[in-house]
Amino acid sequence: MGLGSGSGGSVCWLALKNGKFVKGKKDEQQTEYTTLEGEVTGIEFRDAEYQGKKWREAVIGVTDSGVTYKFGVGIGTGYGKQLLSKLVNADLNKPMKLEPTYKEENGKKISGFFVTQGKALKQLWTRDTPNGMPQMVPVTVKGQTIWDDTEQVAFIEKYYNENIIPKMSGSPSTSAAASADDDREAGDDDIPF
């Protein structure tokens, strides 16, 4: 379970990069992990910024053997949309395995998550079966069409704040998440949902 290290009672910040959990800062030794196992004990939403790019992210806390591993996912990224769409189908009182995925296909960066809890969990919200989630809207900016997911991001956050987080006992504290010194890269996948 967990990442396979830690002595209990601590918090370990992770980043997501190229389909791996990464422990350690950019200018220090980094270790990559393919999976993270444990119980999701906290989900919190906050504003994030990296190299001038701003977005909303979910900070996920996963606890195993007294160690809480925290990582952020941009709500509008492939990582964020898949993970958050699958966690709503999980029993958050039981351990699960999280496995980020990443590939480049036809010049597009595609990221996502496998979530396993006895079996692979399916997404609640998909393009074909949105279950109330608004669709992305094409908008033209400086002659280029881009996909605006503003309504989707707001929908996911509202759904979690109203239906999931109130039922959880160990949500990460806002002050701990906001004050964390974490080096991570912004999600940059732009695949329409």
Question: Which span out of 55-59, 168-172, 184-188 was modeled with the highest average pLDDT?
Answer: 55-59
What are the structure tokens assigned to 103, written together?
């590939």
Q: Is the pLDDT of residue 172 over 90?
A: no
- Alpha carbon distance 155, 133 (integer Å): 6
pLDDT at residue 15 is higher than 80 = yes
Residue range 153-162: mean pLDDT, rounded: 98
Amino acid 129: pLDDT: 95
pLDDT at 187 over 90: no
For residue 5, pLDDT over 90 is answered with no
Q: What is the pLDDT of residue 25?
A: 86
CA distance 72 to 116: 19
In terms of Cβ atoms closer than 10 Å to its own Cβ (0-12, 13-18, 19+), residue 153 is buried
Predicted confidence (pLDDT) at residue 8 exceeds the cutoff of 80: no
- What is the residue whose two structure tokens read 């597009």? 108
In tens, the pLDDT along 42-100 reads: 999 999 999 999 999 999 999 999 999 999 999 999 999 999 999 999 999 999 999 99
State residue 28's pLDDT score.
86
pLDDT at position 191: 40
Contact 65, 6 (CB under 8 A): yes
How does DSSP assign 55-68, residue by residue? EEEEEEEEEETTEE
Give the pair of three-digit tokens for residue 80.
């964020």
- Gap between the Cα atoms of 10 and 63, Å rounded: 10
pTM (2 d.p.): 0.82
Give the model's confidence band at 9: pLDDT under 50 very low, under 70 low, under 90 confident, else very high: low
